[in-house]
Amino acid sequence: MAILVNKQPITLASGSMAFGPTNIQNNVDKIRVALGRNTTADPLLWPAKLTTVAVEVTISINDGPFMPFVGFTAEGGKKIGDDGVTESKESNVITTLPPGIKRKVQGSVTINNGPLVSHLTIEVV
């Protein structure tokens, strides 16, 4: 995967914000978006369980209309794995992009009970 943004520190206040539209190169098949989570090693990242994030992404293919594509929601605080011990370092979504040319994405991020203090990674392949 090619890293477009690598652990960029972010602080987002409560509320909604729009992003895009952003062009996607024709040779890109997948995209991964990750937010750093609260861990023992990074206790200042996204510490409050009440701080939630909701991401909604729409896509346009071949200059067509924007259609719902992918989204996710997550809450802050520590997230422990199924083994009951391992701390998750990130919340992320990886998705395969539909084929086509002239693809664009746009969307929104909504933060409740912010601010959200984290870091952002975006990768494409």
3-state class of 52 per DSSP?
strand
What does the pLDDT average to over 34-48? 94
Residues 52-106 pLDDT 10s? 999 899 999 999 999 999 988 999 999 999 999 999 999 988 999 999 899 999 9
* Sequence ranges of the domains in the chain: 2-124
pTM for the full model? 0.83
- In the sheet where 90-96 sits, what is the strand order? 2-12, 116-124, 30-36, 90-96
pLDDT at residue 122 in the model? 86
CATH of 2-124, one of 3.30.160, 2.60.120, 2.60.40, 1.10.3470: 2.60.120
Averaged pLDDT of the chain: 92
